[in-house]
Amino acid sequence: MRDHATYAGMFALASTRWQIDRGAAAQAYLWAWTENQVLAALKLLPIGQSSGQRILNRILPAIPNIVSNASTLVDDDIDIATPLQGMASNWHETHYSRLFRS
């Protein structure tokens, strides 16, 4: 089962196992995700490490509010966060070979 584990799943498991407060765990996960995204941007764009640190320093104060707002969401408030996948689904729906076949 560990061969198919995701980072998010193992993070949640570790947080639960070590009895880390849900809000603190969510903030830590969001920080790790954000730092990873900024690091990927640094490798992709010629902005430099100092700019990356400035980006992270500007984002850090917003993390508690983001987690607080996220904790109030119900399932119906959550929507797709992959616009290209949604666009591809729409294109597939009207694709010529599928027209009049469903």
**23-32 tens-digit pLDDT:** 999 999 999 9
> pLDDT confidence of 82, banded at 50, 70, 90?
confident
**Does position 39 have pLDDT exceeding 50, yes or no?**
yes
pTM of the model: 0.70
**Tokens encoding 98:** 């599928």
Average pLDDT over residues 6-24: 95
Q: How far is CA 14 from CA 22, 79, 89, in A?
A: 11, 27, 35
